[in-house]
Amino acid sequence: MSALDAAWAALAAHAAHAKKWSLRALFAEDPERFARCSLVFEDLVFDFSKQLVRTETLELLCALARAADLESWRARMFAGAHINSTEDRAALHVALRHRGPEPILCDGRDVMPEVRAELAKMRAFAEAVRSGAVRGARGHSFSDVVNIGIGGSDLGPQMVCRALAHLAPPDLRVHFVSNVDGAHLSPLLARLDPARTLFIVASKTFTTQETMQNAASARAWLTAALGEEAIAQHFVAVSTNAQAVRSFGIPPERSFGFWDWVGGRFSLWSAIGLPIALLLGFARFEELLEGAHSMDRHFATAPLARNLPVVHALLAVWNRDLLGFSTRAVLPYDQRLERLPAFLQQLEMESNGKRVRRDGQPVGRPTCPIVWGEVGTNGQHAFFQLLHQGTEIVPCEFIACVNPDHHLPGHHEKLLANLLAQTQALAFGRTEAEAREALAKAGVRGERLELLARHRTFPGNRPSSTILLDRLTPRALGRLIALFEHSVFVQGVLWEINSFDQWGVELGKELAARLLPALEGGREPQELDPSTRGLLRHIIERRAGIAAQR
């Protein structure tokens, strides 16, 4: 038996006992449990005392990390090794936010001069747009920026822009269009003034179907109003395909690049973050980078048992593989973080939703849980019923800021009271005896008391973690995102999978390309299953019938 298999076996034996543990009992036997089961980095507090773990659990999980050679994999990532083995690339997003003078090597070459040059180009452009030095074809300053992208070219910058919108100026708006469904782009264009609109086309290859269709429609809308010559002044690109960008009509000085060692879902720190720099100003974009870099240094140097991304990942693996919980709810108690669950869905499920190891063999155990969530307190009035009394146990992650950035009295106290109450109710619940006693005090008697007591019993023992920040600043958000990024990497190492490819999205793209000609009036593909053929023909017939009626 290998050391890694032995570590998994030891954890499995331990989990057999853990499944009988009670959070009530764990807290009763250790009044200092919060202090022992929480970590602090700068102003970020990570409380995992309401997880079903003991000191021995963490020791066994750290032993698993060592058996998986985590420290070596971590060093290889920071050193620019080709840890993305199926694409033969580095995964070097940490270089994008590196703030020190040290070189970061990829294939023997220091990438930092190129990174700094691209950041300087972003700074110059963002400051020129914000100051009005860069204007549209009719001499107007820009009031609206439309980012056209999808996946990592959309979710990351969109999430950050929404989270930090309270720091944005009132005279500049940033919009995000990702869906190829025209219902996403069309109503937005109807509200915009072409003379004051700047488009960012964000696509690594400049061939992404959804992005390029939206870009073509935006281009047609703009040129209908301002003429072909306006493209160079109203469009910028973020891409690695310089030739395709030029063919679109965007000049080199309006094209921003990044590198093949930057994965899309890890790319908001690059020129993909241009919407962030435009909305918030480049100084605040740099604060975001600095926050992420501080978490990078912590991840690279802190001991495993005191390392926030490592412990976060170990708990995720414990819940998924050893306790058997198949989903995880991310619950930000901050309206500004409303897009964080969607961002984490891509970051985690596209990274670790894998069924084979790096060597191509089956993983042999569950990998990434289903990640979902919603902002509190909205979720309390939607799906929390299931969290508290449903038949599935869903580990939860609560995120909040200690201090608000608004001046409305009474709101933040109620928000935080709800967060604390939910973590308490999930962990400790209410026994049937406690429910019966409360009903008796309310004057309920007899058979009704017995019936209602069963309905008002909460089993508890449902694990959760809580992350608290002082305030939602660019630096704090950068730290938080980097924490999740590194946690995803650690989980991938433990499962022996490549967290940096995404072959699972390719088959659907290939099949869509085969079906598209038929929907555009061409021939039906020869090899189709009966279901898809039936659906395709129904769509074509119904569209033709509706067209004939017009």
User: Which residues of the chain does CATH 3.40.50.10490 include?
Assistant: 3-67+302-428+462-501, 106-286
Say what the pLDDT of residue 547 is. Answer: 63
Residues ≥6 apart with Cβ < 8 Å to 78: 94, 104, 296, 300
Q: In a 3-state reduction of DSSP, which class is residue 532?
A: helix
Question: Could you tell me which of 421, 424, 397, 416 has the C-alpha nearest to residue 483?
Answer: 397
Catalytic residue among 350, 397, 485, 496: 350
Rounded CA separation 529/519 (Å): 16
Residues of the chain with pLDDT under 70: 546-550
Q: Is 509 a catalytic residue?
A: yes
Q: How far, in Å, CA of 390 to CA of 518, rounded?
A: 45
pLDDT value of position 455? 98
Catalytic option among 17, 19, 411, 509: 509
Q: Is 204 a catalytic residue?
A: no
Pairing of strands 396-401, 464-469: parallel
> Using one digit for the tens of pLDDT, what is the confidence trace for 197-233?
999 999 999 999 999 999 999 999 999 999 999 999 9
- For 252-282, the pLDDT digits (tens) are 999 999 999 999 999 999 999 999 999 999 9
Catalytic residue at 381?
yes
What's the CATH superfamily of 3-67+302-428+462-501?
Glucose-6-phosphate isomerase like protein; domain 1 (3.40.50.10490)
Cα–Cα distances (Å) from 175 to 154, 269, 440, 521, in that order, read 10, 18, 55, 33
pLDDT number for residue 550: 62
- Catalytic site residue from 20, 381, 406, 441: 381
CATH 3.40.50.10490 correct for 106-286: yes
pLDDT for the residue numbered 140: 98
